[in-house]
Each structure stands twice: as C-alpha cells, then as structure tokens.
Amino acid sequence: DAMVIQNPRYQVTQFGKPVTLSCSQTLNHNVMYWYQQKSSQAPKLLFHYYDKDFNNEADTPDNFQSRRPNTSFCFLDIRSPGLGDAAMYLCATSRPDRDGQPQHFGDGTRLSIL
Amino acid sequence: SQKIEQNSEALNIQEGKTATLTCNYTNYSPAYLQWYRQDPGRGPVFLLLIRENEKEKRKERLKVTFDTTLKQSLFHITASQPADSATYLCALVADSNYQLIWGAGTKLIIKP
C-alpha cells in the first residue's frame, strides 16, 4: 500500500544536541509538509516543499531546517533542541493538482528532550 | 485573524446514538473544508471533504454539513460505536489552495 513512513517513531535527545527526523512516501506526491503538534493542539505547519521549492512559515524558528533530496524523502533537522521543542512531528503529503485533495500523514515521531 | 474553533471539551456519547461535532470559523471564506480522525499517537487520517457549494456530504455512517452563512460545519456519526472514539479535526483550505488551516480537534468518547 502507498503510504507515508516516518522514522523513528520515538526519539529522545539531549538539550542542544542536533537531531534529524525522516519521512518517506510512496505516493509520488508533489508536496511534503512538516507539522509540529503538541498535546490537544492543532498541527502547526513548520514548512513545506512544493516539488523542490522550499516554503518556510514566517514563525518557524531558525532552529528548524529541512531537506528534500528527492521526491520520496524529506528530513527535519533540529539544530539545537530546547525543552519547548518536545512534541509530535508529523510529515504529510498531498497532490494539489486537484482542488481539495486531502493530506496523507505518517504516524509521526514523538520527540522528547532530556 | 483567521480562526477555527472546535469544542475543546471532550464529547461523551452513548453507543448507538448520533455524535455531532462542530467546527466554526471566522474571517475566512474557504473553498472547501476537510474532516480528519486522529487516534492517540498516530497521524490524522482523512475522512471527508465538503465544498463551499455543497450543503451536505455522506459516507457510510458519516455526514458533514457546511453552512457558509453561519460559517460552520457539523460532523455527524450515526449509530456510534466505541471504535469511533478518537479526536476529530476540521481543516480549511488556505489562500494557496492547497495548504490547510487546522482546528485543535474535539475528543469523542463513545461509551458502551
């Protein structure tokens, strides 16, 4: 089945130690998104790629970076994680050539900061 | 500013009854609205989409309504089951026509 896969499911890192989260998709969708979601809150868009074009949200901290080496893979790098970065990180894809196309999510990476 | 509101309090429903969840929005005129289900520790899963020119959409036990005058969407689950217990999020399309603006979701608990 075509899907969005995130690794790892759980990540523990130390305060200030860089961490990379990964996402892969077999849907061949143009757009890939990274969201941060904290408990009982709406998913917060960090950035997205439309093909190779990178789009950063205005309020995404500089601490967060992303790479998309090819259509299938996307990475989220947190350069110096702080305690406030503990959250669920969700990767999603969509194919916006048709209006209203839904986003397809992976099961997320739960990031804990020690 | 654009705002989406969903009831932050959990909704407790007896099994077999109809559950109705509300999504209200302000300062926006979305072309369409989507509903997702999210289980604990999992990513959201798309359920239904309704366009601005549609009043109602159905899929099996699910029904969504969209009232652009009231700026409100209602999400109904008929003959509810304990397996329907989850958090349900609504999302509106943003100006870009593919990015979504999300509500925080309502937790639904179906009691046997």
The CATH number of whichever domain residue B41 belongs to comes to: 2.60.40.10
How many domains does chain B fold into? 1
Residue B57 lies in a domain: yes
**Confidence band, pLDDT 50/70/90 cuts, at residue A100:** confident
**How many domains is chain A built from?**
1
Beta-strand (E) ranges in chain A? 4-7, 10-13, 19-25, 31-37, 44-50, 53-56, 64-67, 73-78, 87-94, 104-105, 109-113
Nearest to A96 among B31, B46, B97 (CB): B97
Residue B52's pLDDT band, with cuts at 50, 70 and 90, is confident
CATH label of the domain that carries residue A29 = 2.60.40.10
What is residue A13's predicted lDDT score, i.e. its pLDDT?
95
CA dist A19 and A13 (Å) reads 7
Span A32-53, average pLDDT: 95
Indicate whether B50 belongs to any domain: yes
User: Is residue A98 scored above 70 in pLDDT?
Assistant: no
Closest CA to A111 of A14, A24, A5, A3: A14
B111 inside domain: no
* Closest C-alpha to A3, from A32, A25, A35: A25
Domain that holds residue B80: 3-104
What confidence score (pLDDT) does residue B31 get?
81
Sign of CA dihedral A34, B32, B107, B63: negative
pLDDT of res. B2: 67
Check CB contact of A101 with chain B, cutoff 8 Å.
Answer: yes
Question: Which tens digits make up the pLDDT trace of B64-112?
Answer: 999 989 999 999 999 999 999 999 999 998 666 678 999 999 999 999 9
Q: Is the dihedral of CA B10, B88, A37, B103 positive or negative?
A: negative
Encoded tokens for B16? 């077999």
Domain extent at residue A12: 4-113
A14–chain B Cβ distance below 8 A for any pair: no
Q: Is A43 on the interface with B (CB under 8 A)?
A: yes
A43-63 mean pLDDT: 94
Tell me the pLDDT band of A2, cut-offs 50, 70 and 90: low
Sequence-ordered list of residues with C-beta below 8 angstroms from that of A63, at least 6 positions apart, any chain: A78, A79, A80, A81, A82, A85
Kind and range of the H or E run holding B34: strand B32-38
Instruction: Report the C-alpha gap between B4 and B103 in whole angstroms.
Output: 5
Residues B101, B94: contact at Cβ < 8 Å?
yes
Per the prediction, chain A carries an average pLDDT of: 94
Among left, alpha and beta (phi > 0; psi -120 to 50; other), residue A2 is: beta
| Helix (H/G/I), strand (E/B), else coil: B41 | coil
pLDDT band of residue A99 (cuts 50, 70, 90) is: low
Nearest CA in chain B to A30: B98
The partner residue sitting opposite B102, judged by closest CB among A4, A6, A42, is A42
